Amino acid sequence: MATQDTRVALVTGGSGGIGRAVVRRLAADGFAVAVHYAGNADRAEQVAQEVVASGGRAITVTGDVADEHAMAAAFDAVEAAFGGIDVVVNTAGIMVLGPVETFDLDAFDRMHRTNVRGTFVVSQQAARRLRRGGALVNVSTSQTRAQHPTYGAYVSTKAAVEGLTLILARELRGRDVTVNTVAPGPVATPLFFEDKDEETVARLAGLVPLERLGEPDDVAETVAFLAGPARWVNGQVLFANGGLA
């Protein structure tokens, strides 16, 4: 069990590209970390073992983020292992692209279940359980502002995340808990590369004034800022995108 002075973080989607970088970054800051996964237990365990091998503390927890009972059990497991929760980082999400006119509604529903209901369920648990001085960090996308074609269905889920975040920050008045969203630009993760050819990837990278894709560590650095020293940043959407307009 973590000591009373140790801060504790739960990272949903913690075995994925951005999630894994966030786990590593928070562990480097001294957090005890719970690595959440939905389907890949081996990969989540590998991430946790990397933290332990580096001298940190980590466990894995599982569950569908959209299932309130599963996520309550996951939060219970973190509290049982470490004594409480100070930071929740909600990186779990899926992305399917396509024009609105022909978009498959089953894919639309799947995205909304994970990205909207899942974020709501996790945020609800965080609102109930985060200790004073805690932080909830949700994840959106810079496409809510860039508004490129084929992102309509995906952006509809992330715009909901942003709206939820801004209201929850105000509902938690007096709790000393911050609620913010990070909105990454194009980041080199498996989720980003899915269904994109080399020409599309190069074009998106070229839209960024820094002329490169972001790395998961770039986003993790922003998350660490919100999870730790950024106590005066609350109810905000931070665009971590290298200047993408």
Q: Tell me the average pLDDT across 98-102.
A: 98
Specify whether 154 is catalytic. Answer: yes
Residues 108, 100: Cα–Cα separation, whole Å: 10
- pLDDT digit string, tens, across residues 143-187: 999 999 999 999 999 999 999 999 999 999 999 999 999 999 988
DSSP 187: B
Report which of residues 199 and 89 the model is more confident about: 89
Does residue 236 register a pLDDT over 90? Answer: yes
Q: Which of 64-73, 188-197, 206-215 has the highest mean pLDDT?
A: 64-73
DSSP 4: T
Domain ranges of the chain: 8-240
> Confidence class of residue 244 from pLDDT cuts 50, 70 and 90?
confident
Does residue 44 register a pLDDT over 60? Answer: yes
Q: At 240, is the secondary structure helix, strand, or coil?
A: strand
From residue 99, give the alpha-carbon distance in Å to each of 103, 196, 204: 6, 14, 17
Nearby residues of 104 by Cβ (< 8 Å), 6 or more positions away: 96, 98
Asked if residue 154 lies in contact with residue 97, where contact means CB atoms within 8 angstroms, the answer is yes
> What CATH number belongs to 8-240?
3.40.50.720
pLDDT, averaged across the chain = 94
- Which pLDDT does position 3 carry in this prediction? 54
Catalytic annotation, pick one of 154, 155, 165, 169:
154
> Confidence class of residue 218 from pLDDT cuts 50, 70 and 90?
very high
Q: What is the pTM of this model?
A: 0.93
Q: Tell me the average pLDDT across 30-42.
A: 96
Residues 228, 25: Cα–Cα separation, whole Å: 11
Phi/psi of residue 106, nearest 5 degrees: -65, -40
